[in-house]
């Protein structure tokens, strides 16, 4: 796992920012999934540790949660709403059907962003394309695809020394 050096000067605020990362159905099987689409990450635990270490280097507390059950995800969102500053969600198997999850995230009043390992708008034959076309419900037209450096065995890029 990558250990990130501290990034002094990257943030000027002393406030403790709390980001919650949620992984949906099928992400618990990350290490065994299609390497062409999901990359060389060995396990969901490795991904979660990567995110926590990266957050710590930025002075951000990262909390992670994963479940194959939408009800558990909803309960977690409800329980964390008071303490979270923002959410990052990979809805995975809930990409097309996670309406309840979208409502729960929206009702927190906190910002959230949807991310994916796969290129969910690419045709199935494209690199990182899924075998079926996806139409995201959580954030239609506003999702992020995880960048290739994250999924490769290459070293992560260095952190900037400051933000303008």
Tell me which residue has tokens 């990567």.
Answer: 50
Q: Do residues 63 and 54 touch, judged by C-beta distance below 8 A?
A: no
| Gap between the Cα atoms of 64 and 47, Å rounded | 10
**Active-site position among 17, 38, 103, 135:** 38
Give start and end residues of each alpha helix (H) in 39-98: 44-58, 70-80
Q: Per-residue b/e over 57-78, b at no fewer than 16 CB within 10 Å?
A: bebbebbbbbbbebeebbebbe
**Active-site position among 69, 97, 116, 143:** 116
User: What is the gyration radius of the CA atoms in the chain, in angstroms?
Assistant: 16
DSSP helix/strand/coil, 113 = strand
38 is catalytic: yes
7's CB contacts (< 8 A; 6+ apart) are 57, 58, 59, 159, 160, 161
97 is catalytic: no
**Residues with a known catalytic role:** 38, 116
């Amino acid at each position: 796992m990558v250990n990130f050096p501290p990034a002094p000067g990257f943030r000027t605020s002393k406030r403790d920012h709390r980001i919650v990362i949620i992984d949906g159905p099928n992400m618990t099987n990350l290490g065994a999934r299609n390497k062409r689409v999901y990359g060389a990450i060995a396990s969901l635990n490795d991904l979660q540790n990567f995110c926590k270490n990266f957050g710590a280097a930025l002075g951000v507390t990262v909390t992670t949660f994963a479940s194959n059950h939408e009800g558990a995800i909803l309960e977690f969102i409800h329980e964390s709403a008071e303490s979270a500053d923002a959410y990052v969600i990979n809805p995975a198997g809930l990409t097309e059907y996670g309406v309840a999850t979208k409502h729960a995230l929206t009702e927190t009043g906190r910002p959230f962003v949807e991310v994916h390992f796969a290129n969910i708008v690419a045709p199935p034959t494209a690199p990182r394309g899924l075998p079926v076309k996806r139409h995201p419900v959580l954030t239609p037209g506003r999702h992020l695809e995880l960048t290739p450096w994250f999924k490769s065995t290459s070293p992560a890029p260095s952190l900037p020394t400051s933000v303008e």
